[in-house]
Amino acid sequence: MRQVLLLNATFEPLTTLNLHRAVVLVIREKADVVHRDGRGAVLRSASCTMEVPSVIRLRRYIRIPYRSRIPLTRAALMRRDDYRCAYCGQRAETIDHVLPRSRGGLHTWENCVASCMPCNHRKADRLLEEIGWTLRVAPVVPRGVHWRLIGAQSDGDPQWAPYLALQAA
């Protein structure tokens, strides 16, 4: 599914959206198109024609609440790990606890990783040392206001670069 970069009214990057959600925001006049898709793709309906957006900006400013700790959700964890298995690097579908909950492991950012089904089943409720595995990357708590944009630099449209560079500064 094609992704669209969503900017706040101040041109600050907020997150990425799927194309359908972005088009709904533009049609309902909640957002304006800042950049169109570089390939010139067009969406057509019975009543209107619209170029596919690459970057949209909200018309009203949205205040981002400060959170001292980002809540752990499945979607957030998958985004943090870029939908890659922490053990083999394949596409991840499940969440695995590095220290299994049956052995006292907690459901925290530092103990949870994205995992593919085969690795999750092979590991089961064993420790990494017991099976001789290592993690590709140590699990950490995402930091910063724009943690939802992890991976956008490499995966996104080149038109996103100026906005993501502002966020990194």
- Residue 19 is predicted with a pLDDT of 92
- Residue 156 is predicted with a pLDDT of 65
What is the Cα–Cα distance from 108 to 93, expressed in whole angstroms?
Answer: 18
- Residue 80 is predicted with a pLDDT of 87
- Residue 20 is predicted with a pLDDT of 94
Query: 129 Cβ partners below 8 Å, 6+ apart?
Result: none
How would you label 3-15 residue by residue, b for 16+ Cβ within 10 Å and e otherwise? bbbbbeeeebbbe
Q: Where are the alpha helices (DSSP H) in 42-127?
A: 74-80, 117-123
Query: 91 Cβ partners below 8 Å, 6+ apart?
Result: 83, 84, 85, 116
- Residue 86 is predicted with a pLDDT of 96
- DSSP annotation of 65: P
- Residue 142 is predicted with a pLDDT of 83
Phi-psi region of 132 (alpha: psi -120 to 50; beta: other; left: phi over 0): left
What is the Cα–Cα distance from 85 to 51, expressed in whole angstroms?
Answer: 36
- Residue 37 is predicted with a pLDDT of 85
- Residue 146 is predicted with a pLDDT of 60
- Residue 160 is predicted with a pLDDT of 80
- Residue 154 is predicted with a pLDDT of 52
| 3-7 and 53-58 beta bridge pairing | parallel
In which residue ranges of the chain is pLDDT below 70?
1, 67-68, 144-156, 166-169
Domain ranges of the chain: 3-66+148-168, 74-131
Q: In 3D, which of 120, 155, 142 has the Cα closest to residue 76?
A: 142
- Residue 140 is predicted with a pLDDT of 92
What is the Cα–Cα distance from 93 to 130, expressed in whole angstroms?
Answer: 23
- Tokens matching residue 3: 């992704």
Q: What is the value of pTM for the model shown? A: 0.62
Q: Which residues pair with 3 in a beta bridge?
A: 18
